[in-house]
Structure 1
Amino acid sequence: MKGRNIKKSSPSHWVEQFYDCDENRSKMCESNTEFCACIERFIDPDITGFETHPFTVTFMLQGKMRRYSPDAIILQRDGRVVFEEVKLENWVPDLTFEAKRRAFTLTTGSQLVVRKVRKCSKYRKMLMELYTRYQLQLLDEQPRLH
Structure 2
Amino acid sequence: MRRRTLLAGLPFLLLAPEAFAHPPRQPDSAEAKKFIQEVTDFRSKLAKAVLAKDFAAMRPLYADSFTHTHDSGKLDNKDARLVAAMAGEPLIEAAPVSDLVFRVFAGPTVIVTGKSPILNVKEQKTYDFRWVSVYVTAQDGWQLAVSQATRLS
TM-score surpassing 0.5?
no
Return the TM-score normalized by structure 1.
0.27
Q: Kindly indicate which of the two structures has a greater share of residues assigned to strand.
A: 2
| Length-normalised TM-score, structure 2 | 0.26
